[in-house]
Amino acid sequence: MAERPYIVGNWKMNGTRAMLSEARAIDRAAQRYMKVEVAVAPPYTLIHAVHREAEQIGVGAQDCHPGAEGAHTGDISASMIADAGAKFVILGHSERRQDHGETGELINAKIESALESGLRVILCCGETLDTRDAGKAESYVLKQIEIALPLFEDPGERLTIAYEPIWAIGTGRTATTDDIASMHGAIRELLVKTYGEEASAQVRILYGGSVKPDNAREILATPEVGGALVGGASLSAESFLGIVVGAS
């Protein structure tokens, strides 16, 4: 288990103001688990409201535009997200790659913009089932990361990687702990090669894909798993907190 595991809820396109009670419950309970870093990424419309409620948990966004401002109808920049109270942004999620055709180059530009605005970044990566079955999961995922990685001297806690096999997202299937350990080990090697051992030591590698209270403890005990990115199970305070307990 990481020194301070990072448990992040990705609410996706879910949540109206009625969800603020869940955020309040998560925040109150998180104060009992100070050794776990807990955060949620609500939709844009709730970032400011969750930020105002939250004393303990971090609040983030699920995407941002690479530009600072301008004529981009419907888009939101990293500095706007930061102004609303976000401290981090999830970038390169497979649903954005699939639904919006996001490329590695675009994700890299978004990361640079987010970092310039003072946001921490959670960079997502993960393979399809076809890619895994073809024995190409590791090379595919490492390539995704290499293309998107920003040039840092010392990434520290500003960078987190989330390995999320696409076939495990929202399906109830999870990767085996052997597969998770092997992929996270390969990602760690890439980080060490890119930034050096010391500078990359604080970069946590999260696992995401059908993490639930009943499998969290085992997954989080897997070598090189520094926490979890949680979709469906983060929508109720009770199940999300079950995962936080598994990390404590």
Question: In the complex, which residues of this chain contact ligand PEP (CB under 6 A)?
Answer: 10, 164, 169-170, 208-211, 229-233
Q: Return the number of the residue (200 or 234) whose C-beta is nearest ligand PEP.
A: 234
Least CB distance from residue 70 to ligand PEP, whole Å? Answer: 29
Hey, what are 66's tokens? 């690479």
The answer on whether 242 is annotated among ligand-binding residues is no
231 labeled binding residue: yes
Active-site hit among 22, 37, 51, 93: 93
CB of 170 to ligand PEP, least distance (A): 4
Shortest Å, Cβ 188 to ligand PEP: 20
Is 126 or 195 the residue whose CB approaches ligand PEP more closely? 126
- Write the CB contacts of 208 (distance below 8 Å, at least 6 apart in sequence): 10, 124, 126, 162, 163, 164, 168, 169, 228, 229, 230, 231
Whether 93 is catalytic is yes
State residue 17 phi and psi, 5-degree precision: -60, -20
Angle, CA of 1, 178 and 238, to the nearest 5°: 50
Whichever of 132 and 195 has its CB closer to ligand PEP, that residue is 132
21 is in an annotated binding site: no
Query: Is 226 marked as a binding-site residue?
Result: no
Of residues 60 and 195, the one with the C-beta less far from ligand PEP: 60
CB of 163 to ligand PEP, least distance (A): 10
167 is in an annotated binding site: no
DSSP letters along 28-67, please?
HHHTT-TTSEEEEE--HHHHHHHHHH-SSSEEEES--BSS
Single out the residue of 245, 226, 212 nearest to residue 26, CA to CA. 245
Is 193 part of any known ligand binding site? no
Catalytic residue among 22, 95, 164, 224: 164
Structure tokens at 228: 């979890």
- When the beta carbons of 94 and 200 are compared against ligand PEP, the nearer one is 94
The token duo for 74 is: 């419907």
- List the beta bridge partners of residue 90: 122
**DSSP-derived secondary structure letter, 169:** T
Inter-residue contact 9 to 41 (CB < 8 Å)? yes
Lookup: tokens for 27: 């925040």
- The yes-or-no answer on residue 164 being catalytic is yes
Q: Shortest approach of ligand PEP to residue 88 CB, angstroms? A: 14
Q: From the annotation, which residues make up the binding site for substrate?
A: 10-12, 170, 210, 231-232
The residues carrying an active-site annotation are 93, 164
